[in-house]
Amino acid sequence: MEWAGAGSLRTVLGAQAESVIARACWPQTGVTTGMKEDHLAYKRATSVSLIGLALQVVVAGVLLVYARMGSDPAAMSGFLVVLLGVPIWLVLALVFHQHRRERLEALEAEAYRQSSAAQSSVFEEVGADQQVQAGKLAWMHKWFLPGVSIVVGVFYIALGVWRYLGLPGEEVDFIPPDENGWAIALGLGIAVLNFVFARFVAGMAKQPAWSLLHAGSAAAVGGALVGAAVSVSHFAHAALGYEVLLEYLPLVTAVFMVGIGAEIFMNFVLNLYRPRTPGEFQRPAFDSRVLAFIAAPDKLAESISEAINYQFGFNVSSTWFYRLLERSVWLLVVLASLILWGMTTMTIVDPQESALLVRNGKVVKTLDSGLSFKMPWPFDRVEKFPALSINEVIIGARRPSNDGPILWTNEHGAGSEEMFLVQPTPGASEEAGAESRDYALLVAEISLHYSVGDLNKYLRIAQDAEYGDPDKMRKDLLGAAASGVVMQYLATRSVDEVLGGDRSEMNGAIRKAIQTRYDELDWGVSLQFAGVAGVHPKKEVAGAFEEVVNADQRRESAIERAEAERISRLASVAGSVENAGRIIAVLDELDALRAGGGSDEEIASKELEATDLILDSKGEASIVMSSARTKRWSRHMSARSQLVQSVGQIAAYKAAPLPFKVEQYLSALSDSARAARVWIVPDQSIRIDIDFFEEQAAVYGFGPDLGGSEE
């Protein structure tokens, strides 16, 4: 909506009566006429701002009441968006009111300057006192509007972050609101009313005096977007059963609020560096340019036209083709929408998928792979499922969330672990008697891989989940049925068999039992794999299990060390383990002969055989036995030599006793004096001659007790 010229402006505003009063009170000059028109324009803008304020308050109140009564988080987030537009309209009303007061002040100053009182020197200072409202207006544009922009931006970001962090996560079940009809009606009403009003205000904002109304149109179009989003989300839930839009609309609204707040701060910074023209006021920072484009899309079209003209170097927007395209753009949009809607009659089923054609909630038929035709959306709906792909269900314990080593004593996840009853170790409970039989508890992780053979039966297991994975409820039922089967199976196995038994045999038995249960329930599921991925005791008792394992390991280690010691000793004593075995066997036979009263020949023969084996082994026993044999023969020959020498000495003594004695005496004397240099003799009458040049010194001498002569 545009106004051109002062006459048409007064016609649209409906201000003829006020104009007549103004012409009667103020002089009719060109300056005063423009001032009066500005005054009337600002007064009209003030009224529009107050209407926008009232509309914003009413819409915010309606959304708040509905959000509280209908428990709709999306409407509550929309209420916050609309509520933040209230201070914008209020500030616009105050600023336009101040503009109107400034124009009144300017008119009074102009009337004073043209009056006769201005010629008197008594009132020559009155004109300067009439600039109070202009100063207040300048202060509002310089400080008030930027300050309000910062406050509004802070509230946008703070409330957006609060709504984002305060939203329930995916772990909490989302409960959609029930009042879909009221929500659709209220959303459409708010969207239409706010958008029409935003377009009206955006048309007024094209006039320079009303340029501040761009901020109001942005606030109004924000409410229109909120109403449209609420209406579309509830329509998708009521007509199509889609709850994703309702679930994530509060999140999108929170992000939208944070984005608008960020844009306000960016506008504030840009206003600090944007060149200022004297007498022209800048648009406030809370004036969202993004929302203004939605309120006035014709500006976007003009910008696109100017960009095209600039790129091609001539006025493309003035050509007949562009004008034809501009006139027929809505027809093209409708035609494109019809083509897209017609394309919903075709669907393609991939080779690895199965699909069901659903009409009004009933399964019509099963679609084969390839191209199929159906009624357009939303009359027909195709449910596809990757039937030939492998789907997984985990029962029992969940996989650890950490990336570290998976040990029995580690935390295996935030959730509780499912315990399975198993039989105790055989013989452990028999000591306590049959009346106090024990059971063991183990935590097991069983992975099930399945494919869908009959999609219709599979989808009838349970309805789609309301959020996240649509197969969640069906997987939960599959896991519950399999958990019961696994619990029955493990209850017949001992703890040793489960922890350290044949895992492949156990997996095969579990898979067969679960598949039998699925066939009994007729769920159309084919189990491809079922296996125990991990099993462990409770964390609190894992240490006791580890102590048993450690004791077994220590025992095995001691056995290994003893075996190594045995091999080492046998190899060092007998040369090798094989030689030691043969020697021990012969010695055992020898002991048996001795104990059984064998003959001396047999015992001697067996001793000789054992001795030969020991000597041939080349071990320490062979060395000891060889050394003993050598010493025995040495001592034997030494004793025999002494015997022969003794026999010869006895014969020599018997033949000549005195010379034998002299020889023995002199030999002893020679042996004792061999290393001496001085000899002390008891009597000078005895002369001893020793010849040291002989190989063996000869001692000659006679003494009184020897019976010889002095020579």
87 lies in some domain: yes
Task: Tell whether the model's pLDDT for residue 132 goes beyond 70.
Answer: yes
Q: Tell the residue number behind the tokens 């340019």, with chain if given.
A: 289
The answer to whether residues 599 and 609 touch, using CB atoms and an 8 Å cutoff, is no
| Tens-digit pLDDT profile for residues 231-278 | 888 887 777 667 777 778 888 888 888 988 898 898 888 888 877 766
1 lies in some domain: no
Name 319's Cβ contacts closer than 8 Å, sequence gap at least 6. Answer: none
615 and 501 assigned to the same domain: no
394 lies in some domain: no
Q: Of 94-103, 349-358, 697-706, which has the strongest mean pLDDT?
A: 94-103
What pLDDT does residue 21 have? Answer: 39
Structural domain ending residue among the three candidates 486, 511, 537:
537
Query: How far is 260 from 263, CA to CA, in rounded Å?
Result: 5
487 and 585 assigned to the same domain: no
Structural domain ending residue among the three candidates 301, 331, 362:
301
The better pLDDT of the pair 300, 604 is held by 604
Calculate the average pLDDT of the chain. 75
440 lies in some domain: yes
Residue 312 has a CB neighbour count (10 Å cut-off) of 11
What pLDDT does residue 297 have? Answer: 62
| pLDDT classification of 57: cutoffs 50, 70, 90 | very high
| Tens-digit pLDDT profile for residues 323-343 | 766 667 677 778 888 888 888
Across 189-214, average pLDDT:
85
What pLDDT does residue 398 have? Answer: 66
| Tens-digit pLDDT profile for residues 133-158 | 788 888 888 888 888 889 998 998 89
Coil/strand/helix, residue 447: strand
208 and 295 assigned to the same domain: yes
For 196-200, 206-210, 363-367, 413-417, which range has the lowest pLDDT when averaged over its residues?
Answer: 413-417
pTM for the structure as a whole: 0.47
The answer to whether residues 420 and 487 touch, using CB atoms and an 8 Å cutoff, is yes
**369-392: b (≥16 Cβ within 10 Å) or e:** eeebebeeeeebbbbebebeeebe
Name 349's Cβ contacts closer than 8 Å, sequence gap at least 6. Answer: 355, 367, 368, 369, 370, 372, 382, 384
Task: Tell whether the model's pLDDT for residue 695 goes beyond 60.
Answer: no
The answer to whether residues 13 and 41 touch, using CB atoms and an 8 Å cutoff, is yes
209 and 241 assigned to the same domain: yes
Q: Which residues pair with 423 in a beta bridge?
A: 494
| Tens-digit pLDDT profile for residues 387-399 | 667 778 887 776 6
What pLDDT does residue 121 have? Answer: 45
What pLDDT does residue 2 have? Answer: 34
513 and 576 assigned to the same domain: no
Across 461-473, average pLDDT:
72
Query: How far is 249 from 256, CA to CA, in rounded Å?
Result: 10
**403-437: b (≥16 Cβ within 10 Å) or e:** eeeeebeeebeeeeebbbebbbeeeebeeeeeeee
What pLDDT does residue 248 have? Answer: 82
What pLDDT does residue 17 have? Answer: 38
What pLDDT does residue 706 have? Answer: 43
Integer-rounded Cα radius of gyration of the chain: 58
Coil/strand/helix, residue 704: coil
In the chain, the N- to C-terminal Cα span, in Å, equals 175
444 and 523 assigned to the same domain: yes
| Tens-digit pLDDT profile for residues 613-654 | 877 777 777 788 888 888 888 888 888 888 888 888 888 888
445 and 571 assigned to the same domain: no
137 and 253 assigned to the same domain: yes
Mapping DSSP onto H, E and C, the string for 325-373 reads: HHHCHHHHHHHHHHHHHHHCCEEEECCCCEEEEEECCEEEEEECCEEEE
Query: How far is 479 from 471, CA to CA, in rounded Å?
Result: 12
568 and 609 assigned to the same domain: yes
What pLDDT does residue 58 have? Answer: 92
414 lies in some domain: yes
Give one DSSP letter per residue of 5-60, joined into a string.
Answer: SHHHHHHHHT-HHHHHHHHHHS---HHHHHHHHHHHHHHHHHHHHHHHHHHHHHHH
Helix axes 542-574, 577-596, angle to 10 degrees: 80
Q: Half-sphere exposure of residue 665, counting CA atoms within 13 Å on the CB side?
A: 13
Show the domain range for 104.
Answer: 6-118+129-169+186-301
Name 679's Cβ contacts closer than 8 Å, sequence gap at least 6. Answer: 673, 688
What are the C-alpha distances in Å from 383 to residues 245, 449, 456?
A: 19, 22, 10
Task: Tell whether the model's pLDDT for residue 535 goes beyond 60.
Answer: yes
**Pairing label, strands 440-452, 391-396:** antiparallel
Amino acid at 678: V
58 lies in some domain: yes
Number of structural domains in the chain: 5
Percentage of the chain exceeding pLDDT 90:
1
708 lies in some domain: no
Task: Tell whether the model's pLDDT for residue 89 goes beyond 80.
Answer: yes
Structural domain ending residue among the three candidates 635, 664, 691:
635
For 227-231, 371-375, 556-560, which range has the lowest pLDDT when averaged over its residues?
Answer: 371-375
316 lies in some domain: no
Longest dimension (CA), the chain: 196
55 and 198 assigned to the same domain: yes
Name 358's Cβ contacts closer than 8 Å, sequence gap at least 6. Answer: 364, 380, 381, 382, 383
What pLDDT does residue 701 have? Answer: 47
What pLDDT does residue 369 have? Answer: 74
**202-211: b (≥16 Cβ within 10 Å) or e:** bbbbbeebbb
Across 89-103, average pLDDT:
86
Q: Which residues pair with 173 in a beta bridge?
A: none
Amino acid at 537: P
Q: Of 214-223, 568-577, 669-678, which has the strongest mean pLDDT?
A: 214-223
- Give the pair of three-digit tokens for residue 386: 């990757």
427 and 355 assigned to the same domain: no
Task: Tell whether the model's pLDDT for residue 200 goes beyond 70.
Answer: yes
Query: How far is 285 from 97, CA to CA, in rounded Å?
Result: 20
151 and 247 assigned to the same domain: yes
Looking at the chain, the number of H-run helices and the number of E-run strands are 23, 11
What pLDDT does residue 115 have? Answer: 63
List helix spans (H) across 143-243.
145-166, 180-204, 213-235
